Structure 1
Amino acid sequence: MLRAFLRTEAGSTTVLLVATVLALLWANSPWGDTYEAFWHTPMGISFGDADFSLDLRHWVNDGLMTVFFFLIGLEVSYEVRLGQLRDRRLIAVPAVAAFGGMLVPAGVYLLLNFGGPGAGGWGVPIATDTAFVLGVLAIVGARCPDPLRAFLLTLAIVDDVLAIMIIAIFYTASLSIPALITAVVLLAAIVTLRWLRIWRAPAYVVLGFALWVATLESGIHPTLVGIALGLLVFVYAPTDQKLLLAGEAVQEFTSEPSARAAREATRRVQRAVSVNERLQLRLHPWSSYVIVPIFALANAGVRLDGETLRAALTSPVSIGVALGLVLGKFVGISLGTWLPLRFGWGILPGNLVWGQLLGGAAVSGIGFTVALFIVDLAFDGSPVHAQAKIGILAGSLLSALLGWVIFRLAWDRGGVCAPPEAEPPEELPDRLTVPVGPADHVRGPEDATITIVEYGDFECPYCGRLHPVLEEIRRKNPDVRMVFRHYPIRTLHPRAASAAIVSEAAADQGRFWEMHDILYDNQRFLTDADLEHYAAELGIDPWSDVPGHAARIALHEESGRDSGVRGTPTLFLNGVRYQGGLDKGSISRALDDLRESP
């Protein structure tokens, strides 16, 4: 589900960008006056004396965007029940980071606008645009691992929920009590249908549309309806019985293909998957490729003539929005990530290093969809409306560039995981101080002419990428043997030490290398529950001798420090520290040089 979501959002970034550029070109063309005129065209429904009408922009912002927020509700519901938000330790860090990423930008904006005509726009720089952020991460490519995408997606979900709460509380001008009561009654009717397990789509569509109209008339922004309905959609993990029935139906169709068997197999397979997941699969492309780009086309158009740009350059509104997105988001998310890690409130979702986290904090300053949304609520008809939009565009562009630079610098450090304090100023030794002995984990022939000693960390992403490279080298070079020594970097990888302990428990049963391969193949899943599952597969007790195994790991770490190891992975070839590239070609050439040397 997460991978499908990421592919859809990242792929839609180009469409969203094209829509934004078209809006800007249209608004700044010789026919620029038609831009506002078109989006203010009224459109509605009338029945006798009853009339319901909105202009096109409000149909987009209040109507189509409800589907966008409905999908956010679906995603929140799924993640809370089946996804990453089930684990409170994984929620804590991105949740606090999201809170910091909203509080600090709002504070930066208010420092420049408090008491002025633009003070009401403090909500503009608080929200992150998920589609644009994931698009930038797709461009970053290998520099951004999947755990960082998962971290930022969780952060964005919390960010969106908080932003919608802010819209509901601070950007509701007036309330109509009768309409509000009607909306509450309709919502209760939908909850009752769900409680009675009545799954008739027409009933939900009719009640949902009536709820949207009632909410709109009440004065509360109707996008809240989308979130509420998304949260109410039923989500569940497929039961063994449903999977068995689906498998039998598919097998029947495979053995005796027919229209009846195909229909039954389709029905059984669909029932095995929750309505939540099916709706996400169907609606995500419409939201990502149609609804959000139309929203951008309707809202991103702002005139960029000399007078407007000069006003924006000196406007506290545009400067406040831009600084809030670039500086506020970066500082707020970075501080909000550091605090829960520092005080042990939570853990990161995977093998992340600070360079990647800082890059993610920077690109999170790309605020577009919800930012433009709040601009219309805060400055509708105000002369600073255009200035706020220019601040959004400038701040988002600068945030994307800052993130790209940080990712580039972090990657160019050399592809090694190391804590910030790991590089001392003194010259490091380059010889292996503790020779390979009987207590080491060795894979390969005893009479090998070349021995590769790796100091590794099971949660280090660079060790994970090196693992298949070393395996291929060992298979193709019968004169090479591999030795693995532990060097868990606890300040960066909270699960590395536990994984190392479990591997030592496997070593007691002569199954170290089996566990070694399992751990590297499942780097993203190294919780205690995951480790116990892997141990059960091999028939071992993972916590059989924690003090003894920890002492053995400590000896590896001590030998590594004495040998000049400061990060992972670090390799020694026949006792000499290898300082070349960690790709197959570079290591193979170093092995050839060893063979040729006297």
Structure 2
Amino acid sequence: MLRAFLRTEAGSTSVLFAATVLALVWANSPWSHTYEAFWHTPMGISFGDAAFSLDLRHWVNDGLMTVFFFLIGLEVSYEIRLGQLRDRRLVAVPAVAAFGGMLVPAGIYLILNAGGPGAGGWGVPIATDTAFVLGVLAVAGARCPDPLRAFLLTLAIVDDVLAIFIIAVFYTEQLSVPALLIAALLLAAIVTLRWLRIWRAPAYIVLGFSLWVATLQSGIHPTLVGIALGILVFVYAPTDHKLLLAGEAVQVFTSTPSARAAREATRRVQRAVSVNERLQLRLHPWSSYVIVPVFALANAGVRLDGEALRTAATSPVAIGVMLGLLLGKFVGISLGTWLPLRLRWGILPGNLVWGQLLGGAAVSGIGFTVALFIVDLAFKDPVLHDQAKIGILTGSLLSAALGWLIFKLAWDRGGVCAPPEAEPSEELPVTLTVPVGPGDHVRGPAEARVTIVEYADFECPYCGRIHPVLEEVLRKNPDVRLVFRHFPLRTLHPRAAPAAIVAEAAADEGRFWEMHDILYDNQRFLTDADLEHYAAELAVDAWGNVSRHVARIGLDETSGRDSGVRGTPTLFLNGRRYEGSLDLDSITRAVEEIRESP
């Protein structure tokens, strides 16, 4: 579920970006007057004397965006019941980070705007745009492992829920009690159908649309209907009984294919999966590729002529939004991550380094979809409206640039795969506790002047990056040898341990280094099938003597922990921990210094 969500959102980023650019081009073209004219075109339905009409922008913002928030409700419901939000330890850190990432931006904005005409816009810089953030992480590639995406996705879910609460409480101007009562009755009817386990799609569609109209008339923003209905949709893990029935139906179709058997197999398989998951699968592409881009097209168009930019450069609204997104999100999420880790309130969804977390905090300042949404609610003055949009665009671009820079610096400095909470306060050993012996995997001359011992795992991106560096060091220095020891980070790199087992199986046939090179050349392809394929290429029994190989890997891990290894890659040069950068020049200088020492 999480991988499918990430794949859809990241893939739609280019469409969302194109829609944003198109809106800006349209709003700044010779035909700019048609932009607002088009989106103010009225459209509605009538039945006799009764009529219901909105302009196109409100159909998008109040109607289509309800589907967007319905998906958020589905995701929240799924994560609470079956996903990461079940584990309070995993929720605590991103939840506090999300809260900090909303409180600090709002505070920065109010420092500049309290008491002024733009004071009501404090909610604009509080929201993170999930689609754009995941798109930036996809571009960053290996610098952003899946645990970071999981952390930011959980943070975004909490962020969205808090944003919805803020919209409901602070951006509802007036209430119509009769319409609100009708909306409450309609919601109760939907809950009753759910309780009675009546699953008729037409009934839910009619009641849901009626609830949306009643909520719109009540004065409460109708997108709240979306998230409420999403949370109410049933979600469950497939039971053994349903899986058995589905399997039997598929088997019947396979043995005697017919239209009746195909229909029954389809029905049984669908029933095995919850409605929540089926709706997410069907609606995510529509939301990602149609609804959110159309929303951007309808709302991102802002005049960017010289006068507008000069005004925005001194506008406390534009500056407040920009600084709230750029600095407020970064500081708030960073502090909100550090505090619960420091107080041991929770854990991260994988071993993450601070460079990755800080990069994630920076890109979370990309506040686009919900930020534009709140602009429409917060400002009636068109001048302040446009200034806030300029602040959103500027802050989001700068946040993306800051995140990319942090990821690049962390990567270029040879970041080590180790979680921040794993960094001990006590002083770690600096010498190798277990000297190189006959059981080690050694590449290079036995009488080498310099011995490099590397603790690494085969899935670690930093280990993959240092692999050609160490090869070059060996090529240029005939008196240097490399010793490889396993240190798989199992929570961060789940394929590292199986890859290490296959490498040990290759070692039984005297082909460890061949397998070593194959695994690093194919780090993204380490499934069991991939590993078996590599083993077959080298005529190796991939899973023979697994228990012995696991014990052998455990010895390396123990020696690493006793030597103070807390992440990968960690190097020891002639038995001393190497503390320098993991680039060719730095390691070569360290080798030369050892060679020249008496």
Superposition TM-score, scaled by structure 2 size? 0.78
Decide whether aligned partners of structure 1 residues 190 and 406 sit closer, same or farther in structure 2, where only a CA change above 3 A counts. same
Deviation of 1:267 (Å): 1.2
Deviation of 1:433 (Å): 5.3
Which SS does the other structure have where 1:211 is aligned?
Answer: helix
Structure 2 residue aligned with 1:214: 214
**What is the rounded CA distance, in whole Å, between the counterparts of 1:432 and 1:145 in structure 2?**
29
C-alpha distance after superposition, 1:234-270 (max 9, x if no partner) = 0000011111111222222222222222222111111
Structure 2 residue aligned with 1:366: 366
Structure 1 residue aligned with 2:383: 383
Q: Is the 8 A contact 1:19 1:294 kept in 2?
A: yes
C-alpha distance after superposition, 1:102-159 (max 9, x if no partner) = 0000000000000000000000000000111111111111111011001101000000
Decide whether aligned partners of structure 1 residues 308 and 466 sit closer, same or farther in structure 2, where only a CA change above 3 A counts. closer
The count of residues paired between Structure 1 and Structure 2 equals 517
Structure 2 residue aligned with 1:477: none
C-alpha distance after superposition, 1:403-440 (max 9, x if no partner) = 0000001111224236889899xxx97x84532569xx
Structure 1 residue aligned with 2:43: 43
Structure 1 residue aligned with 2:28: 28
C-alpha distance after superposition, 1:339-394 (max 9, x if no partner) = 00000000000121100000000000001111111101010244311100000000
| Matching of residue 557 in structure 1 with residue 561 in structure 2 | yes
Deviation of 1:465 (Å): 9.2
C-alpha distance after superposition, 1:466-504 (max 9, x if no partner) = 99x99xxxxxxxxx998747698xxxx9999xx99xx9x
Structure 2 residue aligned with 1:61: 61
Decide whether aligned partners of structure 1 residues 256 and 409 sit closer, same or farther in structure 2, where only a CA change above 3 A counts. same
Structure 2 residue aligned with 1:321: 321
Moved more, 566-575 or 351-360: 566-575
**What is the rounded CA distance, in whole Å, between the counterparts of 2:286 and 2:101 in structure 1?**
29
Q: Is the 8 A contact 1:351 1:460 kept in 2?
A: no
Q: Is the 8 A contact 1:351 1:459 kept in 2?
A: no
C-alpha distance after superposition, 1:30-55 (max 9, x if no partner) = 11111111111111111122111111
Which SS does the other structure have where 2:148 is aligned?
Answer: helix
**What is the rounded CA distance, in whole Å, between the counterparts of 1:576 and 1:554 in structure 2?**
17
Within a 5 Å distance, the mapping from 1:73-92 to structure 2 comes to: 73-92=73-92
Amino acid at match of 1:326: L
Q: Is the 8 A contact 2:323 2:395 kept in 1?
A: yes
Structure 1 residue aligned with 2:543: none
Which SS does the other structure have where 1:52 is aligned?
Answer: strand
**What is the rounded CA distance, in whole Å, between the counterparts of 2:215 and 2:99 in structure 1?**
27
Structure 2 residue aligned with 1:242: 242
Q: Is the 8 A contact 2:414 2:582 kept in 1?
A: no
Within a 5 Å distance, the mapping from 1:83-232 to structure 2 comes to: 83-232=83-232
**What is the rounded CA distance, in whole Å, between the counterparts of 1:242 and 1:122 in structure 2?**
49
Amino acid at match of 1:557: R
Structure 2 residue aligned with 1:258: 258
Decide whether aligned partners of structure 1 residues 423 and 88 sit closer, same or farther in structure 2, where only a CA change above 3 A counts. closer
Superposition TM-score, scaled by structure 1 size? 0.78
Q: Is the 8 A contact 2:352 2:419 kept in 1?
A: no
Structure 2 residue aligned with 1:52: 52
Q: Is the 8 A contact 2:457 2:487 kept in 1?
A: yes
Deviation of 1:12 (Å): 0.8
Structure 2 residue aligned with 1:282: 282
Which SS does the other structure have where 1:116 is aligned?
Answer: coil
Q: Is the 8 A contact 1:487 1:556 kept in 2?
A: no
Q: Is the 8 A contact 1:442 1:481 kept in 2?
A: no
**What is the rounded CA distance, in whole Å, between the counterparts of 1:154 and 1:91 in structure 2?**
7
**What is the rounded CA distance, in whole Å, between the counterparts of 1:487 and 1:6 in structure 2?**
25
Structure 2 residue aligned with 1:508: none
Decide whether aligned partners of structure 1 residues 201 and 574 sit closer, same or farther in structure 2, where only a CA change above 3 A counts. same
Amino acid at match of 1:181: L
Deviation of 1:453 (Å): 5.2
Amino acid at match of 2:22: L
Deviation of 1:455 (Å): 3.4
Moved more, 76-85 or 258-267: 258-267
Decide whether aligned partners of structure 1 residues 188 and 464 sit closer, same or farther in structure 2, where only a CA change above 3 A counts. farther
Decide whether aligned partners of structure 1 residues 261 and 444 sit closer, same or farther in structure 2, where only a CA change above 3 A counts. farther
Decide whether aligned partners of structure 1 residues 57 and 434 sit closer, same or farther in structure 2, where only a CA change above 3 A counts. same
Amino acid at match of 2:61: N
Which SS does the other structure have where 1:383 is aligned?
Answer: helix
Amino acid at match of 2:337: T
Within a 5 Å distance, the mapping from 1:470-509 to structure 2 comes to: 484=485
Amino acid at match of 1:333: I
C-alpha distance after superposition, 1:133-192 (max 9, x if no partner) = 111111111111011001101000000000000000000000000000100010000000
The answer for unaligned runs of 5 or more in structure 2 is: 471-480, 501-518, 520-524, 528-545, 548-553, 588-598
**What is the rounded CA distance, in whole Å, between the counterparts of 2:79 and 2:67 in structure 1?**
18
| Matching of residue 337 in structure 1 with residue 341 in structure 2 | no
Q: Is the 8 A contact 2:147 2:492 kept in 1?
A: no
Structure 2 residue aligned with 1:273: 273
**What is the rounded CA distance, in whole Å, between the counterparts of 2:34 and 2:361 in structure 1?**
38
Q: Is the 8 A contact 1:422 1:567 kept in 2?
A: no
**What is the rounded CA distance, in whole Å, between the counterparts of 2:423 and 2:250 in structure 1?**
55
Structure 2 residue aligned with 1:533: none
Amino acid at match of 2:120: G
C-alpha distance after superposition, 1:262-321 (max 9, x if no partner) = 222111111111000000000011111111111111111111111111110000000000
**What is the rounded CA distance, in whole Å, between the counterparts of 1:353 and 1:277 in structure 2?**
32
Within a 5 Å distance, the mapping from 1:292-331 to structure 2 comes to: 292-331=292-331
Q: Is the 8 A contact 2:485 2:556 kept in 1?
A: no
Which SS does the other structure have where 2:204 is aligned?
Answer: helix
Decide whether aligned partners of structure 1 residues 466 and 193 sit closer, same or farther in structure 2, where only a CA change above 3 A counts. farther
Deviation of 1:15 (Å): 0.8
**What is the rounded CA distance, in whole Å, between the counterparts of 1:261 and 1:465 in structure 2?**
52
**What is the rounded CA distance, in whole Å, between the counterparts of 2:301 and 2:389 in structure 1?**
9
Deviation of 1:574 (Å): 8.9
**What is the rounded CA distance, in whole Å, between the counterparts of 1:483 and 1:130 in structure 2?**
40
Within a 5 Å distance, the mapping from 1:411-422 to structure 2 comes to: 411-417=411-417
The answer for unaligned runs of 5 or more in structure 1 is: 471-479, 504-516, 523-537, 540-549, 588-598
**What is the rounded CA distance, in whole Å, between the counterparts of 1:456 and 1:383 in structure 2?**
57
| Matching of residue 350 in structure 1 with residue 354 in structure 2 | no
Decide whether aligned partners of structure 1 residues 556 and 39 sit closer, same or farther in structure 2, where only a CA change above 3 A counts. closer
Moved more, 229-238 or 247-256: 247-256
Amino acid at match of 2:218: S
Moved more, 243-252 or 153-162: 243-252
**What is the rounded CA distance, in whole Å, between the counterparts of 2:201 and 2:75 in structure 1?**
20
Q: Is the 8 A contact 1:453 1:485 kept in 2?
A: no
RMSD: 3.9
Decide whether aligned partners of structure 1 residues 484 and 102 sit closer, same or farther in structure 2, where only a CA change above 3 A counts. same
C-alpha distance after superposition, 1:182-222 (max 9, x if no partner) = 00010000000000000000000000000000000000000
Deviation of 1:570 (Å): 2.4
Moved more, 411-420 or 210-219: 411-420
Decide whether aligned partners of structure 1 residues 257 and 481 sit closer, same or farther in structure 2, where only a CA change above 3 A counts. farther
Which SS does the other structure have where 1:46 is aligned?
Answer: strand
Structure 1 residue aligned with 2:535: none
